[in-house]
Chain A
């Protein structure tokens, strides 16, 4: 099974800060990596697909990069509405879909 790790598990930042989260896969998954945002009591929301493609309607301050085993998710300028938990998710041919453990982002 492919294991996904995320770091950090949580972080505190200020409005306007640049926030970076990393996701590591235990084996090469090419660019089959997605990023989601989840707010308390809500379903996850797709932000980035195929490692670096911005989902329609998602603000451009969100971005993703990487391939193979190492991926990065960035919020260029943290906004109050970005307080949430962020998850990476890999797809490596069904039936292999796994999520990372999540990174909780809150205000400093």
Chain B
């Protein structure tokens, strides 16, 4: 059974870097792992995905501020989003992407709320 758990600060100051970790149990190789966020105003927004090989794919609208990485030995993923503003306040999810076809997000973490405020 695959389980994902996001963790990180719930409050980040404007202009600082948001850093989140996603722990994965039931980890197996060959998958993509994605970060998605949800705001009341913009709904669900894909941030990016990382493959076990380390290849990353980022949403073009966030690409300049996003860095994703993975540690297969620790079964952890990380997300860094720099120069945050209030618009980055959202619930952040990590999710597994099943390869092939429409690459669906088949397992999700419970999500973690990150607020950007001074």
Task: Give A residues with C-beta under 8 Å from B.
Answer: 1, 31-34, 36, 42-46, 49-51, 55, 87, 89-91, 94-95, 97-102
Contacts and interface: CB of A to CB of B under 8 A. Distances in A.
Contact of B57 (A33, A95, A99): A95
Given A43-B111, A49-B101, A99 B106 contact: no
Contacts of B46: 97-99
Given A32-B101, A34-B105, 20 more contacts: A1-B60, A32-B102, A32-B103, A43-B108, A43-B110, A49-B101, A49-B104, A55-B104, A87-B44, A90-B102, A91-B102, A94-B49, A95-B58, A95-B59, A97-B34, A97-B46, A99-B43, A99-B44, A99-B46, A102-B43
Contacts of B71: none
Most chain A CB atoms below 10 A, which of B57, B93, B98, B101: B101
Nearest to A48: B104
Closest 3 A-B residue pairs measured CB to CB? A43-B108, A94-B57, A99-B44
Interface in B63-118: 63, 93, 95, 98, 101-106, 108-111
A55 B106 contact: yes
A60 B45 CA distance: 28
Given A43-B93, A95-B57, A99-B43, A49 B108 contact: no
Interface residues of B, number: 27
A34 B48 CA distance: 17
Given A95-B57, A95-B58, A44 B104 contact: no
Contact of A46 (B60, B104, B111): B104
A50 B101 contact: yes
A97 to B, nearest CB: 4
Nearest to A102: B43
Given A91-B103, A95-B60, A43 B109 contact: yes
Most chain B CB atoms below 10 A, which of A1, A43, A55, A90: A43
A49 to B, nearest CB: 4
9 contacts: A44-B105, A45-B108, A55-B104, A87-B43, A91-B104, A97-B103, A98-B46, A100-B43, A102-B43
